């Protein structure tokens, strides 16, 4: 026991030393992180803390370690430097601290704290800690308000703040005194500057996809990236560069990859032409955003379109089929193929005959999106079967399960949602448990009938899964035919042809965005940019 106490005292000392270094370095305040399953949080939370000594059991005991740290920090930095305490006000875990519990234990921590930074969630509820994309802007502000009302000290509110008006409203209501923003500033480092200078329409809002940030940092221990900001580290430095000679760029496809490529090329002075065969821009991102839980995704194509509209040297042609004859008229120096992807439909018996048939029960993700307004809110008793346990299939599950439908999801691999970021993966797991979704892994689709799927179990049993609504979500396939045709047609010309985004290989938006921005590398290699 003595050894343990000595270890704790040594850790407490390190907190104080770290705070002193921050003060010496010129920081204005120090923050002690007491939430999100970090060490202090583990002492505070009954989920983790099952100790029976003076550091466990009662609220007073569970706060003892944190109090020691606060006192040590104060002794090191003196009375004038503010101390902030970050906390998980509601842990959103069974048996964990609720908001009411937190208000009680903060009574033991209040004295030397100047500002409370009010967050929430633990690792086991990470979809609340790092907000899932369907969470509303500023949804946590009620927690900050409760802390402020009880202790009368400045509070910071965190939680999906993207819309400047929501920020203004939250502050005006007095819910908090300060707004904290993390992922939002990764997506848009100039968020504050743009809002202050009436450039709100040009905000590159975080879409809370959690792929490049949480997915890379937590899920893969890789450098942080961002789906909507392809230049997290270097920033938009290309805006200060210009081509040194005329360069005509033709971009085929107005999805997110194509729009990013077109905007980036035009911003450095290329005469840029974007051809889109449909009457809308945004590609699959625009379509997926029609699913209610994915509405935030639409912020990205909207931003890209506004960015494009501000460029006088970017010409957009909708409802135009990009034939070789059309492309040649623009005298291109660079052609970028960004034709996207389409649902993957392998040669499975009955699939092509039944999918997306007028009046039929078997649909692809695109057909499901088309009919989103038509599905009743209450689908109790209706059977929904989804083939494919990737992100697309789970989008379908997420839509129907809360409506009361009896949902089954079939995945050929041993696990569902293998490639999801940790936030989405945990949220999906909780959702499927909540709504009793029938998860059939290591199960292969054998045949598609008009009202049932024939599947094969891991044990080799072949049986039918009847449905009222059946969805085949086996991923997407690249639309790469045009790139091959272009490569053949311009083989003898001094024209660079690039294939980007899903047109190259069906992946995530983040990959297409980066490849779109990489047009700058091509321009440099070709001598147009120094």
Residue 328 sits in a domain whose CATH number is 3.40.50.720
Dihedral angle, C-alpha 38, 41, 42, 44, nearest 10 °: 170
pLDDT for 491 equals: 80
For residue 278, tell me if it sits in a domain: yes
For residue 511, tell me if it sits in a domain: yes
Specify whether 308 is located in the same domain as 246.
yes
Share of the chain above pLDDT 70, in %: 100
For residue 364, tell me if it sits in a domain: yes
pLDDT for 499 equals: 96
- Binned at pLDDT 50, 70 and 90, residue 419 comes out as confident
What is the spatial distance between Cα 510 and Cα 300, in angstroms, rounded to a whole number? Answer: 11
Structure tokens at 145: 């308000």
Specify whether 398 is located in the same domain as 498.
no
Residue span of the structural domain in which 245 resides: 240-343+478-525
Specify whether 275 is located in the same domain as 355.
no
- Binned at pLDDT 50, 70 and 90, residue 170 comes out as very high
Q: What is the CATH number of the domain that holds 167?
A: 3.20.20.70
Which one of 38, 134, 142, 435 is the catalytic residue? Answer: 38
Specify whether 151 is located in the same domain as 251.
no
Specify whether 43 is located in the same domain as 176.
yes
pLDDT for 217 equals: 86
For residue 114, tell me if it sits in a domain: yes
- Binned at pLDDT 50, 70 and 90, residue 1 comes out as low
Q: Which residue has the tokens 């392998």?
A: 346
Work out how many domains the chain is built from and give that number.
3
Which residue, of 165, 181, 197, is where some domain finishes?
Answer: 181
Specify whether 252 is located in the same domain as 355.
no
**pLDDT beyond 90 at 61:** yes
Report, as an integer, the average pLDDT of 315-329.
96
**pLDDT beyond 80 at 219:** no
What is the spatial distance between Cα 173 and Cα 177, in angstroms, rounded to a whole number? Answer: 10
Q: What is the CATH number of the domain that holds 427?
A: 3.50.50.60
- 3 state DSSP class of 218: helix
- Binned at pLDDT 50, 70 and 90, residue 82 comes out as very high
Active site residue 375: no
Specify whether 496 is located in the same domain as 468.
no
Report, as an integer, the average pLDDT of 337-343.
95
What is the spatial distance between Cα 280 and Cα 304, in angstroms, rounded to a whole number? Answer: 13
pLDDT for 207 equals: 96
Does this model's pTM top 0.85?
yes
Specify whether 412 is located in the same domain as 490.
no
For residue 187, tell me if it sits in a domain: no
Specify whether 506 is located in the same domain as 420.
no
Query: How do 155-157 and 178-179 pair as beta strands?
Result: parallel
For residue 35, tell me if it sits in a domain: yes
Share of the chain above pLDDT 90, in %: 93
**pLDDT beyond 90 at 4:** no
Burial 19-51 (b: 16+ CB within 10 A, else e): bbebbeeeeeebbbbbbbbeebbebbbbbbbee
**pLDDT beyond 90 at 363:** yes
Report, as an integer, the average pLDDT of 8-14.
95
Contact 451, 469 (CB under 8 A): no
Specify whether 113 is located in the same domain as 140.
yes
Model confidence pLDDT, tens digit, residues 443-501 = 999 999 999 999 999 999 999 999 999 999 999 999 989 999 998 888 877 899 999 99
Which neighbouring-strand residues pair with 119?
Answer: 88
For residue 219, tell me if it sits in a domain: no
Model confidence pLDDT, tens digit, residues 222-268 = 899 999 999 998 899 999 999 999 999 999 999 999 999 999 999 99
Which residue, of 443, 459, 474, is where some domain finishes?
Answer: 474
Of 255, 252, 256, 249, whose CA–CA distance to 272 is shortest? Answer: 249
Which residue, of 181, 199, 229, is where some domain finishes?
Answer: 181
Specify whether 332 is located in the same domain as 290.
yes
Specify whether 139 is located in the same domain as 283.
no
pLDDT for 297 equals: 96
- Binned at pLDDT 50, 70 and 90, residue 165 comes out as very high
For residue 6, tell me if it sits in a domain: no
DSSP string, 408-431: EEE-SSSSSSTTS-HHHHHHHHHH
Report, as an integer, the average pLDDT of 117-129.
96
Dihedral angle, C-alpha 377, 381, 382, 384, nearest 10 °: 100
């Amino acid at each position: 026991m003595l050894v343990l106490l000595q270890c704790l005292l040594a850790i407490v000392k390190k907190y104080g030393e770290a705070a002193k270094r921050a003060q010496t370095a010129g920081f204005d305040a120090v923050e002690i992180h007491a939430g999100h399953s970090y060490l202090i949080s583990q002492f505070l939370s009954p989920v983790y803390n099952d100790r029976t000594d003076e550091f466990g059991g009662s609220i007073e005991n569970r706060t003892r370690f944190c109090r020691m740290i606060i006192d040590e920090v104060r002794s090191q930095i003196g009375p004038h430097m503010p101390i902030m305490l970050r906390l998980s006000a509601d842990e959103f875990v069974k048996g964990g601290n609720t908001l009411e519990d937190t208000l009680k234990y903060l009574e033991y921590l209040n004295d030397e704290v100047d500002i409370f930074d009010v967050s929430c969630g633990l690792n086991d509820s990470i979809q609340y800690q790092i907000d899932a994309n369907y969470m509303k802007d500023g949804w946590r502000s009620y927690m900050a308000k409760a802390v402020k009302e009880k202790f009368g000290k400045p509070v910071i509110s965190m939680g999906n703040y993207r819309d400047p008006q929501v920020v203004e409203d939250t502050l005006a209501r007095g819910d908090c005194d300060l707004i904290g923003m993390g992922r939002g500033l990764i997506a848009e480092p100039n968020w504050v500057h743009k809002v202050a200078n009436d450039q709100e329409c040009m905000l590159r809002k975080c879409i809370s996809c959690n792929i490049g940030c949480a997915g890379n940092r937590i899920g893969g221990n890789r450098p942080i990236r961002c789906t909507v900001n392809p230049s997290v580290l270097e920033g938009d430095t290309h805006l200060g560069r210009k081509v040194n000679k005329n360069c005509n760029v033709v971009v085929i496809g107005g999805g997110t990859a194509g729009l990013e490529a077109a905007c980036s090329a035009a911003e450095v002075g290329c005469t840029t032409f974007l051809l889109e065969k449909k009457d809308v821009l945004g590609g699959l991102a625009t379509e997926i955003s029609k699913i209610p839980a994915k509405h935030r995704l639409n912020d990205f194509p909207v931003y890209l379109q506004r960015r494009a509209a501000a460029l006088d040297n970017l010409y957009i042609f909708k409802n135009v089929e990009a034939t070789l004859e059309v492309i040649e008229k623009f005298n291109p120096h660079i052609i970028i193929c960004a034709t996207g992807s389409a649902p993957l439909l392998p040669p499975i018996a009955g699939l092509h005959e039944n999918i997306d048939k007028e009046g039929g029960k078997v649909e692809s993700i695109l057909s499901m999106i088309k009919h989103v307004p038509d599905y009743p809110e209450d689908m109790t008793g209706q059977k929904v079967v989804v083939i494919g346990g990737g992100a697309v299939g789970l989008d379908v599950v997420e839509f129907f399960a809360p409506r009361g439908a009896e949902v089954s999801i079939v995945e050929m691999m041993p696990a569902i949602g293998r490639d999801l970021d940790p936030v989405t993966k945990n949220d999906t797991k909780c959702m499927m448990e909540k709504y009793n979704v029938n998860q059939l892994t290591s199960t292969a689709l054998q045949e598609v009938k008009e009202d049932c799927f024939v599947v094969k179990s891991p044990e080799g049993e072949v049986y039918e899964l009847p449905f009222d609504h059946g969805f085949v979500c086996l991923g997407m396939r690249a639309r790469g035919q045009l790139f091959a045709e272009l490569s053949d047609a311009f083989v003898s010309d001094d024209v660079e042809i690039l294939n980007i985004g899903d047109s190259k290989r069906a992946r995530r938006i983040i990959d297409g965005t980066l490849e779109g921005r990489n047009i700058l590398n091509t321009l440099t290699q070709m001598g147009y940019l120094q």
